[in-house]
Amino acid sequence: MKETRLAINIVKILIKDRMLYPGKLIVDTFSVVARCGILLILYWYVFKLNNGVINNTTFLFTAWSMFFYFSFSVLHLSGIARTIMQDVQSGNVEVLFSKPVSYLLYRIWWQIGSGIFSFIIISIVASILLTLAIGFPPTITIGMFLPSFTLTFLLGAVLTLCVYSIVGLLSFWIEDVNPIFWIVDKAVMILGGSYLPIALFPPLMYKIALYSPFGASLFITHTVSPSWQNNWYELIGIQLLWIFGLGIIVYWMYEQARKKVSVNGG
């Protein structure tokens, strides 16, 4: 109950802060327009040169898949890795560990709260503009789409936080986790379908994206695919398995980190 109140208060405070100081919203909007907008124009031209179909996929499905990736990235959940690292390097973690709330849960909710305002605004506005520009795929109108999309989105967020929390917690042993962060972040970017849509992956790369935690964290990019209505439960199952496995690792690392701070930090 105490953790729930803390989570709600953190998110509310950060949303109010982002509303009063919209600088981050402006930066995030520019980033999405610069990256996603240019890519969509490029792929529109490529699809046009190929008579509108590449690998049995049309531009409509590709555009929405890429949009879901960039919309999800606005949450900046990956930032928890560097936040934990900065806490360790500055010694701030010793103070936060002494508080009567879980340090890791505090950082997770702080990360969610810091990006959720930009995510909501950009996602709503951009989805309306994209619909007006190219329409929306018929798969979105299927009854099971919304509940399965919502569940996949939430599980993807949890899995992303697990992956990057592991990277961040490594800083208790190696301090500078930037090299590991870059490797993991690029793996998520590639296998998540940022610059090359999932539907255009070669068979081997598609399987890696399907069964690795890096690709599984962004299964929302699969939701517009015509095959989603047949295999959504399988993909959600993969997400749940990775969350369970990585969740155990996160818990073990966190407990070891607490002991390390207790011994070395007093």
pLDDT tens digits along 24-70? 888 888 888 888 888 888 888 888 888 888 888 888 888 898 899 99
pLDDT of residue 26: 87
Radius of gyration of the chain (CA): 19
266 confidence band (pLDDT: 50, 70, 90): very low
Q: The tokens of 55 are what? A: 């690998």
What CA–CA distance (Å, rounded) separates 159 from 184? 13
Nearest in space to 81 (alpha carbons), one of 48, 104, 65, 115: 104
Residue type, 132: L
Higher pLDDT, 143 or 80: 80
| Residue 111 identity | Q
Has this prediction a pTM greater than 0.75?
yes
CB-CB contact of 75 with 112 (8 Å)? yes
Percent of the chain with pLDDT over 70: 97
Range in 59-63, 80-84, 262-266 the model is least confident about: 262-266
Residue 262 — pLDDT band, cuts 50, 70, 90?
Answer: low
DSSP 55-91: TTEEHHHHHHHHHHHHHHHTT-TTHHHHHHHHHHHHT
Please say if the pLDDT value at position 264 is more than 60: no
- Note the pLDDT tens digit of each residue in 49-58: 888 888 888 8
pLDDT at res. 18? 83
User: What is the pLDDT at residue 53?
Assistant: 84
Contact 235, 222 (CB under 8 A): yes
- pLDDT in the model for residue 2: 66
Long-range contacts of 134-138 (CB under 8 A, 24+ apart): 134/59, 134/60, 134/63, 135/60, 136/60, 136/64, 137/60, 137/61, 137/64, 137/224
User: Which sequence spans correspond to the domains of the chain?
Assistant: 2-260
